[in-house]
């Protein structure tokens, strides 16, 4: 799994900072998460192949999370795209995009599918053989979802020494990987766990932006490997965080701790702060494994 942060600053694009957008590489998927103004340029700068993006997840309809989408959709057409594009977003986005395309007498050469979200409970919105994506209902000023990206549990791995010592025919290897017991050439039943190792632990990533401090998400993101949680403010501005329904770095860390996540990445910083290290220091008073998100940064896990 590879996370490429294209932008992680709040409110507006600026000369050296970009609004929210991330690219998550997971099991051959390239998922785009949020799409603030200028995301298509950030995709170019970060050398992400446009054609490999087939699924875009939009958390909510504040401009700094979706104003770049209509331009990206339009650029996909200009680049001659013909592969399907799926967009998962709060209800209303389809109307905005469609209206703009109608006014510009424009269209797409490719199939564009809108999956409009309205549920206030967590739901699976994408699933294939290896990956699921489910919503994380957040608490913000407008209807907002985070997204939980999870690998499915893979096959068991053969313990080749044990397999060979047990004289199991090659034609049973598939069944062993699937967890079944098998009978060897001598007719003896071989228990599966005697000759296999458990599968790799499936990896998971949770994206939570924008949200007030919200313990209700803890069970959903329990033990994820990596949590991106917004920290628009520091505790010194907690009085601004509450009414705007944003979080402080300390609150983000508290959620990370309660959910026992592997690593916390911070982001969605207010541009009032010039030194990001203070966010990290504040979060680390609660939870140790904290990384600072920043535009162009790549996390592999």
Q: In the complex, which residues of this chain contact a copy of itself (CB under 8 A)?
A: 11-15, 37-38, 40-41, 44-45, 61-63, 67-68, 70-71, 74-75, 78, 90, 92-93, 95-96, 99-100, 103-106, 141-142
Q: How far apart are CA 7 and CA 38, in angstroms?
A: 9
The least distance separating a copy of itself from the CB of residue 269, rounded to whole angstroms, comes to 15
For residues 29 and 77, which CB has a smaller minimum distance to a copy of itself in the complex? 77
Is 229 one of the annotated binding-site residues? no
Is 210 one of the annotated binding-site residues? yes
Is 64 one of the annotated binding-site residues? yes
Q: How far apart are CA 73 and CA 65, in angstroms?
A: 15
Does residue 64 carry a catalytic annotation? yes
Is 115 one of the annotated binding-site residues? no
Looking at residue 172, the DSSP 8-state letter turns out to be G
Is 29 one of the annotated binding-site residues? no
Q: How far apart are CA 136 and CA 268, in angstroms?
A: 17
The least distance separating a copy of itself from the CB of residue 228, rounded to whole angstroms, comes to 22
Is 140 one of the annotated binding-site residues? yes
Q: How far apart are CA 235 and CA 279, in angstroms?
A: 9
Nearest alpha carbon to residue 116 among 138, 140, 101, 97: 97
Nearest alpha carbon to residue 266 among 240, 242, 297, 223: 297
Q: Could you tell me if 63 and 150 are in contact, meaning their C-beta atoms sit under 8 angstroms apart?
A: no
Q: How far apart are CA 140 and CA 144, in angstroms?
A: 6
For residues 26 and 43, which CB has a smaller minimum distance to a copy of itself in the complex? 43
The least distance separating a copy of itself from the CB of residue 83, rounded to whole angstroms, comes to 18
Q: Could you tell me if 124 and 134 are in contact, meaning their C-beta atoms sit under 8 angstroms apart?
A: yes
Q: How far apart are CA 233 and CA 246, in angstroms?
A: 7
For residues 124 and 142, which CB has a smaller minimum distance to a copy of itself in the complex? 142
Q: Which of 34, 64, 181, 275 is catalytic?
A: 64
Q: 21: part of which helix (H) or strand (E)?
A: strand 21-26
The least distance separating a copy of itself from the CB of residue 69, rounded to whole angstroms, comes to 10
Active centre residues (catalytic):
64
| Binding site, annotated residues for Zn(2+) | 60, 62, 64-65, 140, 210, 268
> What residues form the annotated binding site?
60, 62, 64-65, 140, 210, 268
């Amino acid at each position: 799994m590879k996370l490429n942060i294209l932008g992680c600053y709040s409110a507006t694009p600026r000369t050296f900072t970009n609004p929210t957008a991330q690219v998550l590489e997971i099991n051959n998927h390239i998922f785009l998460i949020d799409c603030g103004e200028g995301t298509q340029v950030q995709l170019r700068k970060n050398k992400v192949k446009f054609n490999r993006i087939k699924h875009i997840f939009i958390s909510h309809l504040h401009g700094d999370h979706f104003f770049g989408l209509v331009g990206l959709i339009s650029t996909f057409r200009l680049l001659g795209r013909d592969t399907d594009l799926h967009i998962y977003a709060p209800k209303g986005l389809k109307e905005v995009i469609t209206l703009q395309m109608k006014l510009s007498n424009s269209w797409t050469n490719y199939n564009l599918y809108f999956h409009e979200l309205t549920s206030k409970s967590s739901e699976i919105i994408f699933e294939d053989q290896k990956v699921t994506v489910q919503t994380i209902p957040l608490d913000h000023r407008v209807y907002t979802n985070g997204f939980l990206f999870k690998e499915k549990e893979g096959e068991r791995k053969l313990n080749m020494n044990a397999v060979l010592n047990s004289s199991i025919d090659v034609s049973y290897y598939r069944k062993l990987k699937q967890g079944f017991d098998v009978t060897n050439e001598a007719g003896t039943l071989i228990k599966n766990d005697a000759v296999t190792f458990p599968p790799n632990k499936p990896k998971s990533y949770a994206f939570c932006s924008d949200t007030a401090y919200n313990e209700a998400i803890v069970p959903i993101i329990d033990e994820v490997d990596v949590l991106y949680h917004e920290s628009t403010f520091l505790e010194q501005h907690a009085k601004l965080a509450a009414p705007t329904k944003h979080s402080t770095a300390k609150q983000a860390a508290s959620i990370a701790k309660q959910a026992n996540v592997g690593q916390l990445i911070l982001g969605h910083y207010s541009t009032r702060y010039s030194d990001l290290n203070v966010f990290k220091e504040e979060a680390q008073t609660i939870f140790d494994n904290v990384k600072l998100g920043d535009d162009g940064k790549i996390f592999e896990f």
